[in-house]
A and B are shown apart, each in its own frame.
Chain A
Amino acid sequence: DTAVSQTPKYLVTQMGNDKSIKCEQNLGHDTMYWYKQDSKKFLKIMFSYNNKELIINETVPNRFSPKSPDKAHLNLHINSLELGDSAVYFCASSPLVGRQGAYEQYFGPGTRLTVT
C-alpha cells in the first residue's frame, strides 16, 4: 500500500556512468516532482510533470532528463554522472496543480546516489 515508491533506495556508481531512478505513485495524483536534497539537507525542486507534461524545469544540467511514461510514473535519468550529483533524490506527487487541495505533496522514501 506504498503511496510513492522509488527504486533503487541506494545507488553507488562511478563518475561518467549513466543511471536511472524510477518513481511510481498509486495515489491517483496528476502531478509528480523530483527534488534533490544535498548533504546539508537542503531540498530543491528539479522538475514537475502534470499529466505527463513538463511544467517545472529548474536550472538543472541537461544531463538530467525526466521521463513520464504515464501519470503514475516519473523516472529520472542522469547521464555522465559527476561527483557533485551525489545527493538524495526524492520523488513526490500531488493532486493536479491548480485544483483545490492540490497543495499537499507526498514524498517517496528517497534514493541516495553516491558517485565515486
Chain B
Amino acid sequence: QQQVKQSPQSLIVQKGGISIINCAYENTAFDYFPWYQQFPGKGPALLIAIRPDVSEKKEGRFTISFNKSAKQFSLHIMDSQPGDSATYFCAASISNTGKLIFGQGTTLQVKP
C-alpha cells in the first residue's frame, strides 16, 4: 500500500511533442504528490507538485493532472525539448511525515 507505480519505464518523444508519464498509488492518506527531474550525475530536483484538493497544476510547459477517485496522477510535458531529456520520478507523501515514496522512474529522451 506504500507503493507508487510509474509508467512507462522509458519514453522517446520527438522535439515539440507531448511527453506523458503516469503514476498510480494505493494509500489514500497520501496528500502531497511531487515530480522530480534527475539529470545524469546529478541529484533529483523538484519540478512541480500538487495537493489532492486540485485536479490540475501547470507551471510553464509542465502540467500535473490529478485524479483522486482513480488514485492516479500524471505529468505532461508540452513542446518537449532535447534539454528535457532526463529521468523523471513521481512521488507521494503524507506531508506531516516528510517520507517520500518514489515511483520507479521514467527515462525520457527527446529527439531533435
Chain B: minimal CB distance from A24 (Å): 14
Q: Is B100 an interface residue (CB 8 A)?
A: yes
Chain A: minimal CB distance from B95 (Å): 5
Cross-chain contact B96 with A98 (CB below 8 angstroms): yes
Contact flag A106-B87 (CB < 8 Å), given A31-B98, A56-B98: no
CB neighbours of A48 from chain B (8 A): 98-99
Instruction: Tell me the complex Cα distance, A110–B102, Å.
Output: 17
For window 31-60 of A, CB contacts with B under 8 Å fall at 31, 33, 40-45, 48, 50, 55-56
Q: Is A97 an interface residue (CB 8 A)?
A: yes
Cross-chain contact B32 with A103 (CB below 8 angstroms): yes
Cross-chain contact A104 with B42 (CB below 8 angstroms): no
CB neighbours of B41 from chain A (8 A): 109-110
For window 75-112 of B, CB contacts with A under 8 Å fall at 87, 89, 93, 95-102, 104-105, 107
**Total A-B contacts with CB atoms under 8 angstroms apart:** 60
Cross-chain contact A97 with B98 (CB below 8 angstroms): yes
Contact residues on B (Cβ < 8 Å of other chain), bracket: 20 to 34
- Among A33, A43, A45, A107, residue most surrounded by chain B Cβ atoms (within 10 Å): A43
Contact flag A103-B99 (CB < 8 Å), given A41-B87, A41-B105, A43-B44: no
CB neighbours of B32 from chain A (8 A): 103
Q: Is A102 an interface residue (CB 8 A)?
A: yes
Instruction: Tell me the complex Cα distance, A89–B59, Å.
Output: 29
CB neighbours of B98 from chain A (8 A): 31, 33, 48, 50, 55-56, 94, 97, 102, 105
Known: A43-B89, A92-B43. 19 other contacts (CB 8 A): A4-B43, A31-B98, A40-B104, A41-B104, A41-B105, A42-B104, A42-B105, A43-B44, A45-B99, A48-B98, A56-B98, A103-B32, A103-B95, A104-B46, A106-B46, A107-B36, A107-B44, A109-B42, A110-B41
